[in-house]
């Protein structure tokens, strides 16, 4: 049984976790654990409550680690989570993040000397952890995969599904979740968005984002 640990925490962004989950939980012979420093309900950054069913100690050696990000607490100051990531990463097949979740990977030393990405609003802070920030949607470095902001977790999970179960299975999962994106606008990355859109997006982001992240 392939064990996937999805890390949940207060003020995280729900879609960062739910995007990868919808793909990975449908892989054959797979179990998904929703882990947290303290199991129970977690209120996400714009209100929806997600529930963690396992403690970090319950899932010490998952095959796949998925760390979602947050629009409120870009840098999660949780030593237990940092320790868990550091130790779980030693035995993992894949260690992954979505959005600002890469900063937690960074804090655990996972990104030292690696190319990595994050939500555009905090991408540069990856340097604090010895990583080289790159503007790519999904960055694969050995067994470490970092994805860009929020929705990028879906693309990341489909790539990961291909590695875990083969291209045919991953293509089937893309069809199951009917992922044939047709956004009505073309402003989904910093490079594509005009200055007005960038300005407004920065205003919409909760205040926590864009703050310096301590080493």
- The residues carrying an active-site annotation are 99
Q: Which of 29, 12, 23, 28 is nearest to 67 (CA)?
A: 12
Q: CA dihedral defined by 118, 124, 129, 134, rounded to 10 degrees?
A: 60
Using the rule CB under 8 A, give the single segment among 58-66, 75-83, 124-132, 160-168 that binds a copy of itself: 160-168
User: 17 near 67, Cβ under 8 Å?
Assistant: no
Q: Does 168 bind a copy of itself (CB under 8 A)?
A: yes
Q: Does 116 bind a copy of itself (CB under 8 A)?
A: no
Minimum Å gap between C-beta 86 and a copy of itself is 26
CA 53, 57, 58, 59 torsion: positive or negative?
positive
Q: Which of residues 5, 14, 73, 107 is near a copy of itself by CB under 8 A?
A: 14
What phi and psi values does residue 7 have, to the nearest 5 degrees?
Answer: -85, 125
d(CA 184, CA 129): 36
Complex with a copy of itself: residue 74 or 149, whichever CB lies closer: 149
Exposure string over 45-54, b if 16+ CB within 10 A, otherwise e: beeeebebeb
Minimum Å gap between C-beta 76 and a copy of itself is 19
Complex with a copy of itself: residue 192 or 215, whichever CB lies closer: 192
SS3 (DSSP) at 31: strand
C-alpha distances in Å from residue 158, one per residue of 22, 50, 57, 139, 144: 10, 22, 28, 13, 15
Q: Does 128 bind a copy of itself (CB under 8 A)?
A: no
Complex with a copy of itself: residue 91 or 175, whichever CB lies closer: 175
Q: Which of residues 10, 11, 53, 132 is near a copy of itself by CB under 8 A?
A: 53
User: How many residues of this chain interact with a copy of itself, rule: CB under 8 A?
Assistant: 69
Q: Does 54 bind a copy of itself (CB under 8 A)?
A: no
Using the rule CB under 8 A, give the single segment among 24-32, 59-67, 84-92, 106-114 that binds a copy of itself: 24-32
User: Count of CB atoms within 10 A of residue 212's CB?
Assistant: 11
Q: Does 103 bind a copy of itself (CB under 8 A)?
A: no
Q: Which residue has the tokens 């977790």?
A: 153
Interacting residues with a copy of itself (CB under 8 A): 13-15, 18-19, 21-22, 25-26, 32, 34, 41, 46-51, 53, 71, 99, 119-120, 137-138, 148-152, 154-155, 158-159, 162, 167-185, 187-190, 192-194, 196-198, 200-201, 203-205
């Amino acid at each position: 049984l392939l064990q996937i640990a999805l890390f949940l925490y207060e003020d995280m962004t729900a879609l960062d976790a739910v995007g990868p989950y919808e793909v990975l939980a449908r892989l054959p012979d797979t179990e998904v654990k929703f882990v947290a420093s303290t199991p129970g309900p977690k209120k996400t950054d714009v209100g929806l409550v997600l529930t963690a069913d396992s403690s970090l100690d319950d899932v010490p050696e998952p095959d796949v680690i998925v760390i979602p990000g947050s629009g409120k607490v870009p840098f999660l100051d949780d030593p237990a989570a940092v320790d868990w990531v550091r130790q779980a990463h030693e035995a993992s097949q894949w260690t992954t993040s979505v959005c600002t979740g890469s900063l937690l990977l960074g804090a655990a030393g996972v990104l030292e000397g690696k190319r990595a990405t994050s939500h555009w609003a905090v991408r540069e802070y990856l340097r604090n952890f010895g990583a080289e920030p790159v503007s790519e949607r999904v960055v694969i470095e050995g067994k470490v995969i970092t994805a860009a902001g929020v929705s990028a977790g879906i693309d990341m999970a489909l790539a990961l599904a291909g590695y875990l179960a083969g291209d045919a299975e991953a293509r089937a999962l893309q069809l199951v979740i009917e992922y044939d994106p047709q956004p009505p606008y073309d402003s989904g990355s910093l490079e594509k968005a005009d200055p007005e859109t960038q300005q407004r997006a920065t205003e919409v982001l909760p205040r926590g984002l864009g703050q310096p992240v301590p080493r």
